Amino acid sequence: MNIVFDFGGVLLRWQPQEFIQRLLPRQVPDADAARVLVASFFEGFGGDWGEFDRGTIAREDLAERIAQRTGLALAEVNAVIDAVPHELQPIEPMVALLRRLHERGHALYFLSNMPAAYADYLDATLAFIDLFRAGVYSARVRMIKPEAAIFAHAAAAFGIEAADTLFIDDVLRNAEAARAAGWQALHFRDPAQCEAELARRGLL
């Protein structure tokens, strides 16, 4: 079986509300304020941030737009943007699961919405990156999930058949897009649920 992993929220920690509240405690005093600011800052990972993921907006332009939209100081916006890649730390139970799948001989790949600078950082720092046969970062191909084109590109780049491929993503619309492209898909909620579903499918 080919298994394609998303990164943020699946293999790497990504909890934007907790992250932004910790980083900007004076501007974000509670969970409600965090939800509001996250929605405005990241725009549901569409909008300006989606174009950052796609690689079609410069970091400096992104920061200025976010500052104008949110009312944050430009220095505060830059602090958040700079901190994101360091926030993407491995989720250890998922890394252990990834290694088990590799040991069982499954072909492992990744497909991640990720700005170019963040992708470079992850390639240089992730200890488990060599477990993957190949991967696609959105900014390097100028496409983003959940667009159908990126699934077609990934399948061609990996040399895999959609029907023989399981895609794992924590964002429901991305999992649904993979199914629409003919892939199998698992909507990730937590490591225990993911492991149980993989076991149910006979992959562990």
CB-based contacts of 124: which residues, under 8 Å, 6+ apart? none
pTM over 0.85: yes
Superfamily of domain 2-13+89-200: HAD superfamily/HAD-like (3.40.50.1000)
What are the residue boundaries of the structural domains of the chain, listed by start?
2-13+89-200, 16-87
Each residue's pLDDT, cut to its tens digit, for the chain (204 residues) gives 999 999 999 999 999 999 999 999 999 999 999 999 999 999 988 999 999 999 999 999 999 999 999 999 999 999 999 999 999 999 999 999 999 999 999 999 999 999 999 999 999 999 999 999 999 999 999 999 999 999 999 999 999 999 999 999 999 999 999 999 999 999 999 999 999 999 999 999
How far is it, in rounded angstroms, from Cα 88 to Cα 91? 9
The 10 Å Cβ neighbour count of residue 189 is 12
